[in-house]
Structure 1
Amino acid sequence: MEQQQSTQTLSRTLTLAPIVLFGLAYMTPMIVFGIYGVLAEETHGVVATAYVVALIAMLFTAYSYGQMVRAYPVSGSAYTFTRKSINPHLGFMVGWSVLLDYVFLPMVIWLIGSVYLNAAFPSVPVWVWILTFIFITTAINVIGIRVTTNINLIMMLFQFLVIGLFIILSVASVLNENSMGSLFTATPFFNGDMSLPLILAGASIACYSFLGFDAVTTLSEETIDPEKTLPKAIFLIALLGGAIFVTASYFIYLVFPDHTQFVDSDSAGLEIARFVGGNLFSALFLAGMITAQFASGLSAQASAARLLFAMGRDNVLPKKLFGALHPRFRTPIINIFVVAIIGLLALFMDVSTSTSFINFGAFITFTFVNASVIGHYFVKKNKRQGKELVLYLLLPLIGTGLNIWLFFNLDIHALTLGTIWAVIGLIYLLFLTKAFKQEPPEMTFEDPEGTS
């Protein structure tokens, strides 16, 4: 009862600016360097164009998130949107896709961080770094130490510093070899090797960089006028994040146009940092990258474990296993270890396949967020007059189409793994609902109190 009262009396103090900063911090801006080499290999160098395509798709999706937050300002979950706007069983499957992102995201974060540490210290194998990441973050999360918003903000500012220094060094490098005019060229967006299938394949991976732009929906009860503020914030976070990714990709191409010269595409960012700024900047760059990946992994594992706990508590998953807390630390210790064990898959995956696998769940989620706008406003609320046709049918329909288009351009291995995950979810749904004769139980996608 005390928890309910404290939740109901959260003070509404957050305005647009701090919410946007929180969202950008959650996205981890330096990830543009983390997957640049993979994208360059996939697109034959035109990474900036892939990010532009991804940005367009994400802006339509951000618009739809904003519309659904107005309808359901408390939950802010794609699962809730689909359940209430379209169908409860379909909502469960969207929730299952959300669960995929939660439980496998730490694996991808740990893998990217380990690849970069291996590039800096090649005598230490990648698997050692992966196990180190998993051991340290798991130990911290078992004890219950969590990264605060202030620390996240400091780390985000550090990332902006590194990105800013990179752009300055890139400009200096280009001007040192060429004229001012060479700073302004369309070559990073268009070259002779580009093709639509390559761009779409790259964009389907690039969307990984945007994951988390919708995370601010969890702040709805602490936001001043959330129905107006949150939609603006979500759109701005996607727009500003995309601008950072496109700009960084543009300058990376200017200083390092030949992607075939990367020693290792998975850790190309470190090679680029060393090229433009020497050992000092590459050390700063590595510190920024690893700090960001460590903090992200810590938060991602904690969030995944707490989501599993909430689902166990609500009997969506077996309560005795997933609903248990450590008697001393009051943390969901079994769930933390489950996420850690899943993280071991990083030992057998590369960055390209792992990010695509995460995007499998993301594209399903984004597709149904767009579809939920149509289901809620156009179908159920009967908003079909004048500009309502554009707002509640055309725009979300475009967003749906773009996400489906990118979905089918994912890595074939990711599509295979994702399909297996979806089939497992469907079989489990059949079991929970006695072959669709009952509605599935409610799933809670908010971070439960009292588990930290």
Structure 2
Amino acid sequence: MAEQTSGATTGMRRVLGMPALVVFGLAYMVPLTVFTTYGVVTESTGGHLPGAYVVTLVAMLFTASSYGRMARVHPFAGSAYTYTQQSFGRHAGFLVGWALLLDYVFLPMINYLVVGIYLNAQFPVVPGWVFMLAAIVLVTGLNVLGIRMVTRMNLVLIGAQAVFVVVFLVQAFRVIAGDGTASLNGIPSLTEPFFGGDTSLSRILGGAAILCLSFLGFDAISTLAEETREPRRLIPRAIMATTLIGGCLFILLSYAGSLAFPHWQRFSSVDSAALDVLRHIGGGLLTAFFTAAYVAGAFASAMASQASVSRILYAMGRDGVLPPRLFGRLSARFKTPAVAILLVGLVSCVALVITLDLASAVISFGALAAFSFVNLSVIKHYLLDGRRRGPLAVLRYGLVPAIGVALTGWLWTSLSGITFVIGGIWVAIGVGWLLVLTRGFRRPAPKLELEHAG
């Protein structure tokens, strides 16, 4: 086992303040990710995408509060894995870390799928799989070479997306105003995109469960605790601010799109439905602007997510959780975990055959499982172990996280059956591997160092 060192002994500089933390969280979330599952969730909810985002935001705010509570007592990298390990022990921590890996393995696939879908929509003569395969090869090659510039482009990417958001909203409300009233567009009232009509609550909850992937990023802020000036104070605030800002942006963008183009039954393709909305709102110019900004953001996100999961696999190999001879070595030439990077690139080829809605749901499976354990960790640490008493303590450390558990659990059970099959197989593999590592639970579970996990 490699010797582990804390952030204090490795000399990491505490230079991050509130603005930098929020920018990091928003860059990780990618504000334009609202268009990734725009058609999929709009169709599954019967045109109530904004309503599904409201449900998801409420659930995420309760969970974000729990992340903030745990960040105050454990201001270290590792996030949900660390909080679960400290509260429920190594075995539970291992399995939560294993569930997080499912997110990170599938997250690059989402980006490759988006690249293929939207470039194919712009250049239909070229099959989407060609764009996907080219992106996989390029991103994998750059990661092997050790490219790290993506982390320095967060502010630039956020700025570019902010410009697009402003242009989109101006154009969308211009179209709405030009039509006179929303009812002329076929919408009975301005509240219809939220919870109106005959769509059942179960359909909205199913869509909300998928939308959890849009919020992946607020939790990643907690991994910067060892580089933040006042982590116990700033990390919780940044987590809540990022969740609220990101959620409001998602709701506003989806609401504007729903009012400007309510004819969701006419989508040419649910996977690229956002392009139908954009063409209606701003024509070819806005569509081209979106495609360029979104594909560039997806490419950068693919680089970051593939680099993250490959480093996690390397750490697991280094710590003996995975075969160290295969995963625990760096390339002698490039000083990167080349084997892990190549493996992730190979697994990412599943994007050539998987659907966007299934990949999105699988990511949400792991995220919701981790979110549930963070909420439970608050109850365990403060009420049971810390013996906090009194009405205020019960409200803060009991009722709020309990609502978070209930909401995330509700969303979790709203996922599709095939999602549970894939997630269940992944968990079963993790349990089996844990049995091997612990010799049938006769030895303590290894400590996974998930510095970059969310």
Offset of residue 193 of structure 1: 3.1
Query: 2:144 & 2:40 partners in 1: Cα distance?
Result: 33
1:138 to 140, 155, 170: 140
- The residue type equivalent to 1:334 in the other structure is V
Match in the other structure for 1:330: 335
- The residue type equivalent to 2:220 in the other structure is A
Of stretches 94-103 and 186-195 in structure 1, the one that deviates more from structure 2 is: 186-195
Match in the other structure for 2:117: 115
Match of 2:272, SS state, is helix
Match in the other structure for 1:262: 267
Match in the other structure for 1:125: 127
Query: 2:388 & 2:418 partners in 1: Cα distance?
Result: 41
Number of aligned residue pairs: give it: 448
Offset of residue 432 of structure 1: 0.8
For residues 62-96 of structure 1, what are the alpha-carbon distances to aligned partners after superposition, in whole Å with 9 as ceiling and x for unaligned?
00000111111012421111111013211111110
Query: 1:127 & 1:5 partners in 2: Cα distance?
Result: 42
For residues 349-370 of structure 1, what are the alpha-carbon distances to aligned partners after superposition, in whole Å with 9 as ceiling and x for unaligned?
1111110011111011000010
Match of 2:218, SS state, is coil
Match of 1:387, SS state, is helix
For residues 318-351 of structure 1, what are the alpha-carbon distances to aligned partners after superposition, in whole Å with 9 as ceiling and x for unaligned?
1111101110100101100111111111111111
Match of 2:35, SS state, is helix
Shift in CA distance, 179/103, structure 1 to aligned 2, threshold 3 Å: closer
- The residue type equivalent to 1:103 in the other structure is V
Match in the other structure for 2:49: 47
1:359 to 355, 364, 369: 364
Query: 1:244 & 1:360 partners in 2: Cα distance?
Result: 23
Match in the other structure for 2:72: 70
Of stretches 145-154 and 329-338 in structure 1, the one that deviates more from structure 2 is: 145-154
Shift in CA distance, 155/431, structure 1 to aligned 2, threshold 3 Å: same
1:17 to 13, 19, 22: 19
Contact persistence 1:78–1:368 (CA under 8 A): yes
For residues 389-410 of structure 1, what are the alpha-carbon distances to aligned partners after superposition, in whole Å with 9 as ceiling and x for unaligned?
0111111111011111111111
Query: 2:81 & 2:11 partners in 1: Cα distance?
Result: 25
- Indicate yes or no: 2:230 matched with 1:228: no
Query: 1:180 & 1:360 partners in 2: Cα distance?
Result: 36
2:377 to 364, 372, 388: 372
- The residue type equivalent to 1:140 in the other structure is L
Match in the other structure for 1:286: 291
Match in the other structure for 2:386: 381
Query: 1:116 & 1:193 partners in 2: Cα distance?
Result: 32
Contact persistence 2:90–2:446 (CA under 8 A): no
Contact persistence 1:127–1:347 (CA under 8 A): yes
Match in the other structure for 1:394: 399
Contact persistence 1:310–1:444 (CA under 8 A): yes
Match in the other structure for 2:200: 195
Offset of residue 447 of structure 1: 4.6
1:252 to 236, 249, 257: 257
Query: 1:4 & 1:177 partners in 2: Cα distance?
Result: 59
Offset of residue 6 of structure 1: 8.2
- The residue type equivalent to 1:414 in the other structure is T
Query: 2:422 & 2:114 partners in 1: Cα distance?
Result: 19
Shift in CA distance, 61/309, structure 1 to aligned 2, threshold 3 Å: same
Query: 1:294 & 1:179 partners in 2: Cα distance?
Result: 39
Of stretches 147-156 and 181-190 in structure 1, the one that deviates more from structure 2 is: 181-190
Match of 1:327, SS state, is coil
Shift in CA distance, 122/193, structure 1 to aligned 2, threshold 3 Å: farther
- Indicate yes or no: 2:319 matched with 1:317: no
Offset of residue 180 of structure 1: 9.1
Match of 1:30, SS state, is helix
Match in the other structure for 2:347: 342
Match in the other structure for 1:27: 29
Instruction: Let me know the Cα RMSD of the aligned residues.
Output: 1.9
- Stretches of structure 1 that go unaligned for 5 or more consecutive residues are none
Q: How does 1:300-311 map to 2 (within 5 A)?
A: 300-311=305-316
Query: 2:50 & 2:60 partners in 1: Cα distance?
Result: 15
- The residue type equivalent to 2:354 in the other structure is M
Query: 1:358 & 1:318 partners in 2: Cα distance?
Result: 25
For residues 174-217 of structure 1, what are the alpha-carbon distances to aligned partners after superposition, in whole Å with 9 as ceiling and x for unaligned?
11111599998212113323211100000001111101111111
Dislocated runs of 4+, deviation >6 Å: 3-6, 180-184
Match in the other structure for 1:100: 102
Q: How does 1:402-417 map to 2 (within 5 A)?
A: 402-417=407-422
- Indicate yes or no: 2:426 matched with 1:421: yes
- Stretches of structure 2 that go unaligned for 5 or more consecutive residues are none
Query: 2:411 & 2:6 partners in 1: Cα distance?
Result: 41
Match of 1:331, SS state, is coil
Match in the other structure for 1:85: 87
Query: 2:181 & 2:373 partners in 1: Cα distance?
Result: 48
Contact persistence 1:147–1:295 (CA under 8 A): no
Offset of residue 153 of structure 1: 1.3
Offset of residue 108 of structure 1: 1.6
Match in the other structure for 2:163: 161
Query: Structure 2 length normalisation: TM-score?
Result: 0.95
- Indicate yes or no: 2:35 matched with 1:37: no
- The residue type equivalent to 2:180 in the other structure is N
Match of 1:312, SS state, is helix
